[in-house]
Amino acid sequence: MQRGVADCFKQQHKLNDDDMSDLEKRAENFTQPQEYKDQGLYPFFRVIESGQDAEVQMAGRKVSMFGSNSYLGLTSHPKVKEAAIAAIKKYGTGTAGSRFLNGTLDIHVELEHRLARFVNKEAALVFSTGFQSNLGAVPTVVGRNDTAIIDEQSHASIIDATRLSFGRILKYRHNDMESLEKVLKNLDENKNGSLKLIVTDGLFSMEGDVAHVDKIAQLAKKYNTSVMIDDAHGIGVLGDNGKGTVNHFGLDGEVEMIVGTFSKSLASIGGFIAGSKGLINYLQHNARSLIFSASLPPASAASVIAALDIIESKNGLVEKLWENTHHAKKRFTELGMDIGDSETPIIPIYIRDNTKAFIISKILLEKGVFINPVITPAVRPEDSLLRFALMATHSIPQIDEAIDKIYAAGKEIGIY
């Protein structure tokens, strides 16, 4: 095995184990990434030298991108880029403060109105990332005598948000409505103003399945429970012209809190929570990840407004994304590939072996296709997969070529 970077560093600086602090020793003992690097299989932090498009440049050559969350391909849309540049010219590059104090710009407020209208809610509140939106929402709403009931496969930001809450946290089996009902049934009636909140992703980011928001809303009503849907991946993809998972089920009025992010279809970074005016006022004055963190940079706010302009102009991007999705799904099915139950532009190609998932993504990169392996602990070892993510800006020949290459690589390592 080759020597790792840490070994070289130790030798150069003439360090031995006794010179290291406990913290440094602990870091030193974390060797798994280096083991994959030594085998030439390490698939993370891969460097891209161009914009996040359907085709990117890596190590000076063109690579087809099937690992992006830019579902509508708007990060390099000329109007989005122009809006970001204009915002920098007008406002500069940062806000140097929290929304609560000196960091609220007129474009933050404009963006909040636009987002509220987009998801059919009274009001919205913009955070600096989607992750922070969840960190702001859950601990603020779920206090000491309250209960959050979450899908066991919720995104890490939901899990971490529950860890910040002083309330009770319960989990139900992934997208399993019987399991959810069992949890709800065992809970006491809301006493002394305590509340219960069901939290789940709308569209699950790794396996592409959609939360049963209709059944969740029914159960919520039956057991006097509130609902929060984190629609990071559903906004721009599902619902009427990309209005999201809740809209897809026609339940805009039933779900109290919708969380979204700008880092997927909305071409930037940042996040939001939408709900009633009262709820947004409550979050504005209590959500610590909002109050104690600087606000969204002006270029990001302007990019999202421009992205919304494009989506609302109904220029066919959402339809093209779905056309690509149906085409890809049909091809995978014809080839007999194991793609689970995905109903969306996120298609899991099950490899069911961590090392093979790494090997196949390496082979594919050599053949000019970028695709992310998803392994333990993100999924169980027997569920490891390649996450094939479609964009509206992929062409059908590009999709076909990628699928042929994935199939050929799978054959090469004995999966097909």
Ligand X SMILES: Cc1ncc(COP(=O)(O)O)c(C=O)c1O
Smallest gap from residue 207 Cβ to ligand X (A): 12
How far apart CA 386 and CA 205 sit, in angstroms, is: 12
Q: Which residue is nearest to ligand X (CB)?
A: 130
- Catalytic one of 10, 233, 320, 394: 233
Among 131, 332, 350, 370, binds ligand X (CB under 6 A): 131
How far apart CA 283 and CA 236 sit, in angstroms, is: 25
CA angle in degrees (0–180, nearest 5) for 32-34-39: 100
- Nearest partner of 258 among 115, 358, 50, judged by Cα: 115
Torsion, Cα of 79, 85, 86, 91 (10° steps)? 140
CA 40, chain centre distance (Å): 28
Name, in order, each residue with C-beta under 8 angstroms of 304's C-beta and a sequence gap of 6 or more: 111, 115, 262, 266, 267, 268, 270
Among 112, 207, 209, 230, binds ligand X (CB under 6 A): 230
The answer to whether residue 233 is catalytic is yes
- Catalytic one of 205, 226, 300, 342: 205
**Cβ contact 263:270 at 8 Å:** yes
Is 129 near ligand X (CB under 6 A)?
yes
Is 201 near ligand X (CB under 6 A)?
yes
The answer to whether residue 264 is catalytic is yes
String marking each residue 155-194 x if it binds ligand X according to CB under 6 A = x-x-------------------------------------
Smallest gap from residue 157 Cβ to ligand X (A): 4
Place of tokens 């929402």: 137
Whichever of 141 and 359 has its CB closer to ligand X, that residue is: 141
Smallest gap from residue 263 Cβ to ligand X (A): 4
The secondary element (H helix, E strand) that includes residue 134 is: helix 130-141
The answer to whether residue 64 is catalytic is no
Is 223 near ligand X (CB under 6 A)?
no
Q: Which stretch binds ligand X (CB under 6 A): 54-62, 181-189, 227-235, 374-382?
A: 227-235
How many residues sit close enough to ligand X to count as binding (CB under 6 A)?
15
Whichever of 64 and 200 has its CB closer to ligand X, that residue is: 200
Q: Which stretch binds ligand X (CB under 6 A): 73-81, 105-113, 127-135, 344-352?
A: 127-135
Smallest gap from residue 352 Cβ to ligand X (A): 23
Whichever of 223 and 272 has its CB closer to ligand X, that residue is: 272
Q: Give the CA count within 13 Å in the CB-facing half-sphere of 208.
A: 24
DSSP assignment of 67-127 equals S-S-TT--TT-HHHHHHHHHHHHHH-S---SBTTTT---HHHHHHHHHHHHHTT-SEEEEE
- Catalytic one of 196, 243, 264, 394: 264
Is 261 near ligand X (CB under 6 A)?
yes
Smallest gap from residue 260 Cβ to ligand X (A): 9
SS3 state of residue 13:
coil
How far apart CA 194 and CA 176 sit, in angstroms, is: 25
SS3 state of residue 230:
strand
Where in 342-371 is the site for ligand X (CB under 6 A)?
none
Tokens of 164: 């910040």
Is 130 near ligand X (CB under 6 A)?
yes
Is 209 near ligand X (CB under 6 A)?
no
Is 271 near ligand X (CB under 6 A)?
yes
- Nearest partner of 74 among 91, 94, 93, 51, judged by Cα: 51
Among 162, 247, 263, 384, binds ligand X (CB under 6 A): 263
- Which residues here bind ligand X, judged by CB under 6 A? 129-131, 134, 155, 157, 201, 205, 230, 232-233, 261, 263, 269, 271
Cite the active site residues.
205, 233, 264
